[in-house]
Amino acid sequence: MSEKYDVIVIGSGPAGYVAAIRAAQLGLKTACIEKWQDSAGKGVNGGTCLNVGCIPSKALLDSSHKYHDAKDAMSGHGISTGTVTIDVPAMIKRKDKIVKQMSGGIAGLFKANKVSSLYGTGKLLAGRKVEFTALDGAVSELEADNVILASGSVPVAIPMAPVDNEVIVDSTGALEFDSVPERLGVIGAGVIGLELGSVWSRLGSKVVCLEAMDSFLAMMDQQIAKETKKILTKQGLDIRLSCRVTGTEVKGKEVVVTYTDVDGKEQTETFDKLIVCVGRRPFTEGLLSGDCGVNLDERGLIYVNDLCSTSAPGVWAIGDVVRGPMLAHKGSEEGVMVAERIAGQKPLLNYDIIPNVIYTHPEVASVGKTEEQLKADGEPYNVGVFPFVAIGRAVAADEADGMVKMLAHAETDRVLGCHIVGPSASDLVQSVAIAMEFGSSAEDIGMTVFGHPTFSEAVKEAALAVNGHAIHMPNRKRKK
């Protein structure tokens, strides 16, 4: 007789493990299946985000930033550091230690909440049954009243740059270099490409980002995108737009990349390492049986409604495998929503207020609509922009690059979006997300007392600037 659960979750990334924990907290007998293994072949939780995504990349970003500061940014403070070197294997070892610690933390949370951890792969069968193949190859059948699919995503591969995990790598391989490549190519200047390019650029690589699109960070507010490109270019990233890679040839320990430039001319560039970062796709290989009743859309995503319910009764899907931005926090909140709905509650997720962050330095963060979206929708709006160079805390900390941009409805003053490039942008934008969740106006934020001196004062000033009331800069005249 097969094991029976109230909930089976397939995948223990940020969407899956949060769903499993919340379901268990609500008194549901819950199991979570995970296929990830560590270098010793032991099952580990956390999925892509924890093992080869969000967490390890942030560890390397932090290490590389500290190296850059110690090497190039201390003299202005009167601090002499002498000769600064980087031990890449030690940096990677630190990253691996952090991953192990965080993965162990999920295992501890599962144990505390009585979630059954099952290491191996799961395939959804008809009737909410799951074929479980353990890491040792043993196959069994499980049953559940509800199944939550949270299998995540994998890097998109392109035929003109096949990954060999030596010279040409994907985002996973870029976390495992054992030395700093002198010449580093990055195909794609999106979030992942910019973050990984920043890591190795700070450590000394000459980094060239080849982006096929003719606009930089096309999905972001373009005023912020242009400012971000200017800052990153000043830091040394060579970002080339309208450059479409047409082929690669590995020659020994280097790779020759052929691409067409903005003028349509064929060019070549030689690199010691090449990172392919052209996006991610949903991972559904081996996940669904032909008769399970779950449908995929034209992009290969699992089709769900606004509540993350699939076309099969009692089967849900969350995270990177469904529509919407591939963001860990979006998947986590979907996990909570689904677990609570299974338990009989009726929560909803506000998809209009999901922050997005790029962890370059300075950070780039946004929430809500861009100015371009508001124009396209014909929605009347006012804009407030405030630069960090006018913030005392930012100048004192040598963090004066960037700005805060606030967008509010021209008639109601309700905040419609906020876009930031600057210090602690990931944290600053969250305060605006909270305000937006409660329907705040720009005036509400402007009337709120902010501590001084703080980076967050730029948010208050941008809110004041929306209505021409900024204190620490001249206000732009309104068009009549």
Phi/psi at 288 (5° precision): -125, 130
Q: Which residues fall within 8 angstroms of residue 113, CB to CB, at 6 or more apart? A: 20, 21, 24, 25
Pairing state of beta strands 206-210 and 238-240? parallel
Alpha-carbon distance of 393 to 399, in angstroms, equals 8
- Find out whether 102 and 14 touch, Cβ atoms under 8 Å: no
Alpha-carbon distance of 364 to 213, in angstroms, equals 19
Helical ranges in 236-313 per DSSP H: none
In what side-by-side order are the strands of the sheet with 403-409?
A: 356-358, 363-368, 415-422, 403-409, 381-387
Both tokens of 204, joined, read: 């000394």
The CA angle 179-180-182, to the nearest 5 degrees, is 130
- Measure CA 460 to chain center: 26
Alpha-carbon distance of 104 to 397, in angstroms, equals 35
The 10 Å Cβ neighbour count of residue 1 is 5
Q: Has 452 been annotated as catalytic?
A: yes
Per annotation, catalytic residue among 65, 68, 419, 452: 452
Alpha-carbon distance of 358 to 272, in angstroms, equals 26
Task: Quickly count helices (H) and strands (E) in the chain.
Answer: 12, 21
Cα separation of the two ends of the chain: 76
Both tokens of 285, joined, read: 């290989």
User: For the CA atoms of the chain, what is the radius of gyration?
Assistant: 24
Q: Which residues are catalytic?
A: 452
